Structure 1
Amino acid sequence: MASGGSSFHKGSDMIHDYSCFKCEENDLNTEAQHFCPQCEHYLCQKCVNIHGDYFKKHVVYGRGDIQKWAGFSMDRCAHHGKELEVHCDDHQELCCSVCVALNHRLCTRISHLPDLARGFLQTAEFIQLPAAVYKMRDRLDELKNDRIKDQASLKDSFKDISSEIKAFRKKINQILDKLEKKTIEQLDNMMEDFEKSIKDDLETFALMHDQLSTMIEKLQQSAGKNKESSCYIGFIKCKSKLSEAKSIVQEIREKERMKFKSDEIVLPFLRKLNSLGNVKHVRKTDSIHVYKAQSSSQYKVKIKKDKSICDIVGICELPTGEVVIADYNNKRVKLLNRQYEVIDHCDLQDPPEQLCHITGSEVAVAVNGISVTSYGVHFFTVTKGKLLAVRKFTTDHEIHAIAHHQGKLYMGSHFDLHLYTMDGNIIKTICDEKSPYHIVHRCAVSPDGERIYVINPNTSKLITLDTSGHVLSTEDDSYLERPYGLCVSPSGHMFVCGQRSNTVVQVDKEGRKTLATVARMAHGLWNPRSVWFSEQTSTLIVGNFEDDSITVVQLC
């Protein structure tokens, strides 16, 4: 990098993160060291001194506050300060000349911004943007107020949990105190027994000592008087008493002593514990609203190139409000605008089975063909109302279910459920054909990633699994006959369509019970195969079996 005061002709190949705006006007290439947000100018050391003489009240940020430079100028690059000139369709990024030189030289689809912007002011997407921004600002204000309330709530939770921990510790102490008391009582009883035994032994010792002393004294007196008979009798009695004394001595010598042996289970068990329990971060989520249908409409999705009747097996909505659908019979992925008109499509060699939204304008489509080589996932992106195929990978198994969560793909192969990377590498098999639910026809993931919802149409059940494949709950409501499609919104609202019951039902987050039947045959449902809930418009988008139209149900 050049220093703040050095200059180069504009034709120099020196590339700066930020170039001085004033120097560029004079065909000089100088690295900026300062930024004025009011002028939206990047300035070198020389130019900032001149700027300061003219605009004494302007606040200027130096390199130490470089994080504040970005975001002030709408038409300048946040990374390099250069004017934004092109859009990289491959990466979906606005780029300046430095961005192109450093990061996008190999990209094949670069669009000139003036060409993209031509006529954009009259588009519905641009006209509706302020309302969407105002709505989001209101939502952010609501969340801000909620978070302020959460501060007080968290302090209360901290106090409550601290009290719970202390109360739990108190229970443990009470249990330990009780165990200690019982052990001490055992020790006291043993000590009492030993003290009585020792007292008895001391009395025995004293008695035996006196008896031996008396007997040996009398024996010696009889020997002095040459009384052989008396000596013989005394000898026999003394030997007998001595033998008795030896037995007592031997018995005392072999008596047990007190010894404590701790329970081997207690200490290793306690050492294995990392804490007295787990303090979990439970994220507060919006409450689940129970919806009901207000009105419904039908929209044609058949195009001239379609040779067969449409069969919409997958639906998802993009953040822009555009909708992507998968047409099984015509082997096509179609793009709909906000008015549900088909504005673009991409053809596939094999029929699509299901699709899911990834991030931004990207979707993944599961494809199954006749041969093993045709099993795979195709990725598409939407740019300027165009649906573009960007990449794909193949698998060695069929794919009937696909769902995305935090950069990973959950894919069901009818009998198995696998977790994949976005590059097509399998991470693990969550469940296989030995599982009790056996068939994985469609799947979805909860917003927190802790629950996986699986549909088994043969048993008319919705099964909720944890990430290890263990069954958490099952739902087999009578209003859900042969479930075929499901969706889970970012807020956790879950909807399941019953093909044979001609209904769409709303299910709680745990997948345990049906909250409401929100759409029926009266709303245009006939053998529904796919469903999507739009939180932006509070609508259900439903694809029926072999139907050239989709059904859009307005909820309230």
Structure 2
Amino acid sequence: MASNVESSIHRGGDFIHDFVCSACEEDRLNTEAQHFCSQCTKYYCDNCVPVHNKLYKRHAVLDRKDVKKWAAAPGTVDAMERCEKHPGKALELVCVDHDKLCCPVCVAVGHRQCASILHIPDVAKGIRKDPMFTQLPKEVADLRKQLEDMEDARTKNSASLWDTRAVIVDENKTIRENINASLDKMEKTTVDELDSLIAKHETVIKKDIDFCKQMHEDLKSLMDAIENKKSSGEPTLYIGVKKCGDKMKEARAHVHRMSSVETYYLTYQPDKTIEKWFSSPQSFGVLNECVTVAAQFPQEHVFQVLGSKEYNVKMSSETLECDIGGVCELPCGQVVITDRNHSKVKLLDREYLVVDVYDVARAPWGVCHICGDEVAVCVNYFDQICELQFMYVAIGKLFVRRKLSFNHKCFAAVYHGDQLYISSGTALYVYTMSGQLAKKLYEDKTESDAVEKCVISNDGKRIYITNPSKNQLITLDNMGNTLATFTDPDMIQPTGIDVSPAGHVFVCAWDSKTVLQVDKDGKTKLTTLAKKVDGVSCPKALFFSSRTSCLFVGRWKDTLLVIMLQ
């Protein structure tokens, strides 16, 4: 087959070019075109174009750098069937060896030695019934949604970096006020280094955003073209499907690469000795650039406990026992916990030592990660205060950015798909990030804690809710329909819950003093990971760290329990 195709793309010993000079062609010469006149809609080689330009001085002539515009000219190959490498040629063949669509020039240049090259009309027979064609719209829609989500996450990541920059620069100015003008050079060095690191990440982030936008549009254009060509011949539809498949492979590969990096962020540790002695340091502090890479476990993986350790989170000035009702981890490894008994939000470093404390008006409940260094804390005081406080971490301190108030309780919050899911004890609400109610997704008024903690799977298809009063784990779809209701003797009064990026579901229970792993469908217990003998006493909150493969267990106790998994 290869030899037959090869012979068909020769003409008198000359290769067929993607664009042939129109003037030469009239003289029965086969000369490759280097220019195109949009008014004449003709192609010219380097020898013929001067004659054309002399006769038609006002015509717009495009050279090879604008070759894509040549292909858009009237009378050229249809966009769906056009070869991207040789825009003047139509895709007529398939190289089975490389699984590539080819025009005759492609075969001549890169596929001469391939054993199996087939004619597209032969391969395309029955394409309308092929799952590759029938399932394509849904697969493209799902991938475009992933691209949109990734673009949105990267945009927020960029904003978070600049927020961090603002806080760091302000800190530098505070230090700068306590010393003399000789520190100007050191301040400039720090800011320049900071800007350089941000610019470095901004380049990657912008590239990811631009790719998402471009790929999103490319896939839309291809699907629009396929929809418009449904009445066309099977070869045309086959080409569209193959082109779309190739574009999807490229998009998936890029999305997979991007997904391995959750966020880019900076940390900063000012050098406090500068005020006493500043002749040696070259900048205001140490800037650390970090990239979070999530640990990868297959969805069916059942974890085992390697060990556990307790870390004290009680301040020396506190007299009551801590009540850790919410836990979450930032990409940099810092941990944010809520302490209801002391009405405080506490920031822990990577060694789980308390490095900052923020006093809230009343008892804080759940806490969830938003993006970068930002978290949202649920605050309730009877019916007087029901709000979500957005906090961010910079230079080792907690700051409040804004607040949203509700006319119902706010026990737990989850951020997903640029929306907030808020549990009130009897209902699960969906809000926009500006605080507008989108819908009431689920409701159960049988008990005041029938809808307590909630989490959402990474793909947004499953929502898990704890109902402590009925000892239930409830699984919903994203429309609020109940998919499963799970109970187990090892899960009495479930309180904390979390789901890993890969879909592993973890639940802790107050009365049974246990931590369980449940299957992604919320129907079966896979294992009981820890019990009272392992330190699980009075558990109230749970968080799985994909960075360290640890479970953080918040308890009515002065220590945070960290369970190491494998």
- In the superposition, the TM-score normalised over structure 1's length comes to 0.50
Higher relative contact order (CA 8 A, sep 6+): 2
- Rg: which structure is higher? 1
- In the superposition, the TM-score normalised over structure 2's length comes to 0.49
